[in-house]
Structure 1
Amino acid sequence: MSAPPTPLLDPARWQRHLFRGRWEETAHGTTVIEPATGAPLTDVGLASADDVATSVQAAVAAQAEWLAVPPRERAEIFRRAASLFQQHFDELARMVARETGGVLFKGEHEVREAITLCHLAAGMPLQAQGQLLPSAPGRLSIAKRAPLGVIGVISPFNFPLILTLRTVAPALAAGNAVVVKPDVRTPVSGGFMLARVFEEAGLPAGLLHILPGGAEAGEALVTAPQVPMIAFTGSPAVGRRIGELAGRHLKKVSLELGGANALVILDDADLDVAASNAAWGAWLHQGQICMAANRILVHASQAAGLLERLVDKARHLPVGDGASGQVALGPLIDARQLQRVHGLVQDSVAAGARLLAGGSYEGLFYQPTVLSGVRPGMRVFDEEIFGPVASVITVDSEEEAITLANQNQGGLAAGVISASLARAMRVAGRLRQGMVHVNDQTVNDECVNPFGGPGIAGNGTSVGGPADWEEYTQWKWITVKEQATPYPF
């Protein structure tokens, strides 16, 4: 039997340190708290606005040198990174679970996706990166994909490894440098874990920077003149602020903000299957997913049966420390998030919703919750919940389901469940969401699909798969004549 690999993660590296291609001490630090236990997990460095400015300057210099690295050598770095994620799979998955409060299979999912993201990035440098355009005889006209330069990434706490790496890997592969400001609640999974992997994989120093920090650091990154693009995943309120700042500084911006997602269950659906889909879509990772099924729209003839099944699941799903591998739901990320979720539930019950299960908590562990009688005007209908709450809305027709599903400021994901594929496809075609899943729930993602949605879900752009070249490069037009010729002037 082979010996276990030497651990990749060493907390001493990031204790009061930042990563700029090498580990550098900083004057400030913060303690990361493990949500499930309330105990300190690790200490990390905390970046200031000056730290951001220093990193941006270093990234600009490193990016110019990165362009001179042959494509096959760049590709090999990502293959080595994928191998490191695989080699240290158990260690990394457990850290993701502990830091995010997720169940262990959620941490494992993030590491598996990280491996795939690295393999996809390894293929990018070897792909065609332009087109030969028609032009006059004697002149060569080329449209080429050119990297933007330095990409700023501000990533969230819920799926920090995936939602950081999905920009870092393709952006680097396309020829950019990247400066990451991970959420201070998950700086290891969303930052220093990537730093260690790419450090060991041989990424040239200065191309990747990891700078956990607060609003000051985030604003410094968004307004830095030498950062032409910001990729942000998070709340609509912060997304609006970033969009305003980026627009003022004429930057490209990719905003992925979630939204009020709808799962439509038609009157011919198998209720056991529908209830399973609804529970998974609403409660997976405690509902802290941008694609979570915030609204479950069910035909009146099926409502009682669906509610009975959801209540039974809510009462029997075990809640506890996700890293133990023995529970279905873990804790919410922190007390502020818990109080927001509880406030949404209490306000909606006060407005007339009926609490059938859950609605209570112990520590950061919020019980899976079922609300019936939900309607427009209630907070759980109008707002993204980001907690384990199944909000059930009863409808009398397909038309009413479509109308209510589309009654939002923009949606990221939707699902339709029906025994009739034709009916499900008809409804799906009228839903105004960026991603629609027929005979499936709303929480779906694969590394190769374009990911994004309109309105409050973001700014209409997509990341992932074929969208990555569009997102992290710009077209550059080049013409070549055999020799210069005179003009009439």
Structure 2
Amino acid sequence: MSNAKTIEKYSKWTKSPIGGVWKSGSSNKECVVRNPYNNEVLVTFPYANKADINEAYETAERAQRSWGETSAYERIKVLEKVASIIEEKREEIVELLVEESGSSKLKANVEIDCSIADVKEAAKYPLQMEGSIRESLIPGKENRVYRDPVGVVGAITPWNWPFYLTIRVVAPAIATGNSIVLKPDSQTPISGGLMIAKIFEEAGLPEGVLNVIVADLEEIGDYFVEHPIPQVISFTGSTKAGQHVGSIATKHLKKPALELGGNNAFIVLDDADVDEAVSAAAFGKYMHSGQICIAINRIIIDRKLYPSFVEKFKEATKAIKVGDPSEDDTIIGPLINQKQVERAIQLVEQTLKEGATLIHEGKVEGNLIYPYILGDVKNDMAAAQNEVFAPIAIIIPVDSEEEAVEVANGTPFGLSGAVFSGSIERGINVARKIKTGMIHVNDQTINVEPNVPFGGEKYSGLGRYCGEWAIDEFTTVKWISVQKQPRSYPFS
């Protein structure tokens, strides 16, 4: 019998860029990355520890001094090359996302398209960091306002859209002259960090500008956020974790940029086209198995349309393929881990106990959840008050437009939303009443574009990503006044 160690498929990804070189983490603990569909071990490597974090931040601070003074055109050149490399590596990245995050091929390609678009948008930022000259009340004085990089950004990114949600932070931070220390989720460290760092390196980004820390939270605690060097902490993830990160950041007078959980409402008014609404709802609910912060969480429908919508939505749900995400026509693949599966099923069971109707019963196979549909849900039931993050649709009937608005707003979250109506102006009017950062008329809730603000209200976050709003998140302004002639003072 051979005692040879099994060669892991992604064994080339055992080192991280820390301190300007690719090296192993210094922790005695190991990160084990598994395929969520079949539990295959993809790669095993040592975690980074607090000493690595310190080295990464100190290196990033040194590297930023020169990177921040690099010409706008040099930064643009790097970003344009990054976009080109991502496209060249599309098939490799798709395979990685399928195997590391359980993405379907459809979702993986969408993620890559969004990433390329964001990088191309970020390539515009170096020429948009405009200053200004302002008049002064003081004779002979000139006021200048400069827009500068913040310095070093600490970024914590999630597992569900690991490539895109990391690119969304890294690209604008680097474009605006900052360096960055990135901590991807340890379930998706390659697609959420190491692959991205390698792409930026190939594009010509200087050593030390982008560092990656794959660490065990139990070992490092809050050190990544508490470290004195980063001035902005970007976090994408759950509201509970984001509240903790935000509180630690502000305690240390760092600026938090938080994109957190959602409880997104999909409103179907009584004049809506049911067929169009069903098609949109199926996409917005089941894309990436519902594991998207902007996925539909609550379908709120006028009672007049409820029977027709339920029947057609049930048929659309039955037609969706569940299974191996490596197969081209699979839409619903695995949840990221068993803990997430158990949490989702508990929400189903609790909501049924509270009086909901089981319209379509799914099942569980490993980390796969075949879709459930729960009807006659009320807004105070478990699945309506929590972000489900699974292929579980909940449908809430209402008796009026006013009730639909009240139900939609009856949550502490406010990330995304959608309104279907036969009248565009009526849809816009309702959309304006929903307290959310983003909402879409006659579309579903999953929308991302590089040139518009992405972010939430209430418990769904602070700040905005994408477009010119990203420049605000990763830069600061400085006032320099220039006294061009001797000033007359009231004394001295």
State the TM-score, normalizing by the size of structure 1: 0.95
Segment of structure 1 superposing worse, 76-85 or 475-484:
475-484
CA contact (8 A) 1:114 1:165 kept: yes
CA–CA distance in structure 2, aligned partners of residues 308 and 386 of structure 1: 23
Question: What SS does the corresponding residue of 1:342 show, helix, strand or coil?
Answer: helix
Q: 1:401 aligns with which of 400, 404, 420?
A: 404
Q: Please state if 1:462 is matched with 2:464.
A: yes
- Structure 1 gap ranges (5+): 1-9
Moved more, 207-216 or 333-342: 207-216
Q: Shift of the alpha carbon at 1:472?
A: 0.5
Equivalents in 2 of 1:12, 1:328: separation in Å?
Answer: 28
State which drifts further: 43-52 or 387-396.
43-52
Q: CA deviation at 1:281?
A: 1.2
- Tell me what 1:3 maps to: none
**Which one-letter code corresponds to 1:25 in the other structure?**
S
The amino acid of 2:240's aligned partner reads A
> Equivalents in 1 of 2:180, 2:221: separation in Å?
14
Task: State the partner residue of 2:93.
Answer: 92
Counterparts of 1:21-36 in structure 2 under 5 Å? 21-28=20-27, 29-36=30-37
Alignment of 1:252-401 (within 5 A): 252-401=255-404
Match of 1:67 in 2: 68
User: Given the alignment, which residue of 418, 427, 432 partners 1:429?
Assistant: 432
Deviation for aligned residue 1:148: 0.9
Match of 2:4 in 1: none
| Letter in structure 2 aligned against 1:431 | I
Q: CA deviation at 1:399?
A: 0.6
Instruction: Identify the range of structure 1 (15-24 vs 243-252) with the bigger mean alpha-carbon deviation.
Output: 15-24
Q: Describe the SS at the equivalent of 2:112.
A: helix
* 2:197 matched residue in structure 1: 195
Query: Structure 2 vs 1, CA of residues 239 and 417 (structure 1 numbering), >3 Å: closer, same or farther?
Result: same
User: Is 1:240–2:239 an aligned residue pair?
Assistant: no
Please list every run of 5 or more consecutive structure 2 residues that lacks an aligned counterpart in the other structure.
Answer: 1-8
Q: Distance in 1 between matches of 2:379 and 2:349?
A: 16
- Which residue number corresponds to residue 80 of structure 2? 79
- 2:480 — aligned with what? 478
Does the aligned pair in 2 maintain the 1:260–1:410 contact within 8 Å? yes
Count of aligned residue pairs for this structure pair: 479
- Name the counterpart of 1:138: 140
Displacement of 1:300: 0.7
Q: Partners of 1:358 and 1:171 in 2: how far apart?
A: 45
Deviation of 1:166 (Å): 0.7
Cα distance in 2, alignment partners of residues 269 and 125 from structure 1:
44
Contact 2:17 2:197 in 1 (8 A): no
Give yes or no for contact 2:265–2:297 (8 Å, CA) kept in 1: yes
Q: Is the 8 A contact 1:116 1:447 kept in 2?
A: yes
Q: Which has the larger displacement, 167-176 or 20-29?
A: 20-29
More off after superposition, 129-138 vs 431-440: 129-138
**Aligned match of 1:58:** 59
The Cα shift of 1:308 comes to 0.8
- Asked whether the equivalents of residues 36 and 100 of structure 2 are also in contact (C-alpha less than 8 Å), the reply is yes
Structure 1 residues 218 and 110 mapped into 2: Cα distance closer, same or farther (>3 Å)?
Answer: farther
Q: Between 245-254 and 106-115, report the one with greater CA deviation.
A: 106-115
Contact 1:286 1:387 survives alignment (8 Å): yes
Moved more, 327-336 or 217-226: 217-226
Displacement of 1:220 in angstroms is 1.2
> Relative to structure 2, which stretch is displaced further, 420-429 or 255-264?
420-429
* One-letter code aligned to 1:132: I
| Partner secondary structure for residue 429 of structure 1 | helix
The whole-number CA distance in structure 1 between the counterparts of 2:200 and 2:180 is: 12
The aligned residue for residue 14 of structure 1 is 13
Tell me if the contact between 1:267 and 1:302 (Cα under 8 Å) persists in the aligned partners. yes
